[in-house]
Amino acid sequence: MNQQRGNQRLDRATAVPRVIGNNRDFLIVSGLAGAAKDVHALEEGADNAYLMGGAMGAAVPMGLGLALAQPERHVLVVTGDGELLMAIGSLAVAATSGLTRFSVVCVDNERYGETGNQIAHTAMGIDLATVARGFGFRHTMLAAAEDEMDTARDLIRRQDGLVFVHLKISDAPPPKPSSRSFDGVERKHIFRKALLGHV
Amino acid sequence: MAVQEIWGNALYDTLVEAGVGIFSYVPDGGHKVMIQRAIDDPRVRAISLTTEEEGVALAAGAHLGGAKAVLLMQSSGAGNCINMLSLTANGQFPFLCFVTMRGTFGEQNAWQVPMGKAVRPSLESIGVDCLEVEREDEVAETAEAALNMAYRSNRAVAVLLSQKLIGAKAF
């Protein structure tokens, strides 16, 4: 269960950008709450990222739909631990999809951060990388220490099988979005126009 | 199964000709023909889901990437989709699903009745337009209507395939 390593807490504001690296290497789908704010902070209004403020559980299957439509592109899903556990079966769907350019980073603060910082299941030692490996993800790792972040950044760029990184971070609040809200229609239009040339 | 061989094949061909390239599904006997066609067809992707709401999010993601995905499910799965349809509604994503009905006309399994009767009111309450098909000769016309509503008007549409069409399963 890796309790001891799991209790190490990387700083959220530096760990997420460091693991993702150049966000332009991917098409990104980010689930609600902290994960969406993390991705928003990488590049405000980026036209290669779709960020959600609800529909908990959507991140992995939505990223999968995007990857099926764009098999030549590398899709990165960024999701929180609460959302991932709500839709854990979607890892099985992804793993059996035949895709190889599909990476998931689970940003795990061990808390339900949006609702009062209640303790989440992952605080009690759940090893999500082993879970993902069991579903059939080829490359999986727990990134919980400073010297593991660069390894994680390289790993999510592998294109020879599905990648899952369980990123343990502090329970400090995620970066605060500045001005724009995550408008579902606007983000869809921006994303499609950049990718497809039309809305 | 003979009747389903006719409408199932015709419906499948209509969807593929309209550009549907991804079929996600939670298996149901009423969708057996279409599911098998999708699995066997190298032109499309057949994606087996663990729960129906994955297909709602998957369809939105496919639209982001310029592809058309439809969801095949039984009426019992409609309830699983409700909150995920907030993504469809809030983002005005096109959505098209085909629901084989249980729990209504001639149902012999009481466990199917509550959700079967709740399909239309639940889906309509989250913004999904429901088109019901009771006869084989309505399938193609309804599919064309649903395709236009979903992919030209960015609507969320459920085609409800009645037990009058698919038959009430002996349980």
pLDDT at site B52? 98
Which candidate, B3, B1, B46, places its Cα nearest to that of B25? B46
- pLDDT score at A75: 98
- Name the A residues in 3-32 with CB < 8 Å from any B CB: 27, 29
Q: Which of B10, B5, B36 is nearest to B23 (CA)?
A: B36
CATH number assigned to the domain comprising residue A92: 3.40.50.970
pLDDT digits over B46-74, tens only? Answer: 999 999 999 999 999 999 999 999 999 99
Secondary structure element (H or E) that encloses residue B161, with its range: strand B156-161
Which residue is listed with tokens 């795990």?
Answer: A108
pLDDT of residue A123: 92
Average pLDDT value over all residues in chain A = 92
How many domains, in total, are found in chain A?
1
Share of chain A above pLDDT 70, in %: 94
**pLDDT > 70 fraction of chain B, expressed in percent and rounded:** 96
B2-17 vs B32-40: helix crossing angle, rounded to 10: 50
Q: Is the pLDDT of residue A7 over 80?
A: no
Query: Which of A58, A54, A29, A168 has its CA nearest to residue A111?
Result: A168
How far is it, in rounded angstroms, from Cα B163 to Cα B107? Answer: 8
Contact A54 B86 (CB under 8 A): yes
- Report yes or no: B129 and B67 within 8 Å, Cβ to Cβ: no
Q: What is the pLDDT of residue A2?
A: 44
A46-58: pLDDT as tens digits: 999 999 999 999 9
> What integer is the mean pLDDT of B30-48?
97
Question: In this structure, what DSSP letter does residue B80 have?
Answer: G
Is A57 near chain B, with CB under 8 Å? Answer: yes
Q: 3-state SS of chain A?
A: CCHHHHCCCECHHHHHHHHHCCHHHCEEEECCCHHHHHHHHHCCCCCCEEECCCCCCCHHHHHHHHHHHCCCCCEEEEEEHHHHHHCCHHHHHHHCCCCCCEEEEEEECCEEHHHCCEECHHHHCCCHHHHHHHHCCCEEEEECCHHHHHHHHHHCCCCCCCEEEEEEECCCCCCCCCCCCCCHHHHHHHHHHHHHCCC
Cβ proximity of A192 and A199 under 8 Å: yes
Is some CB atom of chain A closer than 8 A to the CB atom of B91? yes
pLDDT for res A114: 83
Domains present along chain B, CATH in parentheses: 2-166 (3.40.50.970)
- Asked whether residue B8 carries a pLDDT value surpassing 50, the answer given is yes
Which residues of B are less than 8 Å from A73 in CB distance? 65
Residue A113: pLDDT band by 50, 70, 90 thresholds? confident
Residue A36 has pLDDT above 50, yes or no: yes
**CA gap B132, B5 in Å, rounded:** 19
Write the residue in B64, B83, B92 that is nearest to A50 by C-beta.
Answer: B64
The answer to whether ipTM exceeds 0.90 is yes
Asked if the model's pLDDT at residue A59 lies above 60, the reply is yes
Q: Cβ distance B124 to B152 under 8 Å?
A: no
B50: nearest CB among A68, A73, A89 = A89
Cβ pair B60:A187 closer than 8 A: no
Q: Are B33 and B25 in contact (CB under 8 A)?
A: no
Q: Whose structure tokens read 């269960």? A: A1
Nearest residue to A33 via CA among A96, A102, A99, A118:
A118
pLDDT for position B150? 98
On the question of pLDDT at A181 being above 80, the answer is no
Alpha carbon distances (Å) from A12 to A34, A35, A79, B90, B142: 10, 10, 14, 29, 50
What is the predicted pLDDT for the residue at A5? 46
Per the rule left: phi > 0, alpha: psi between -120 and 50, beta: everything else, A197 is left
pLDDT score for A6: 42
B57 touches chain A (CB under 8 A): yes
Q: For residue A109, what are the domain limits?
A: 3-196
* B159 and A CB contact within 8 Å: no
Task: Tell me the pairing of strands A111-112 and A118-119.
Answer: antiparallel
pLDDT tens figures, B81-91: 999 999 999 99
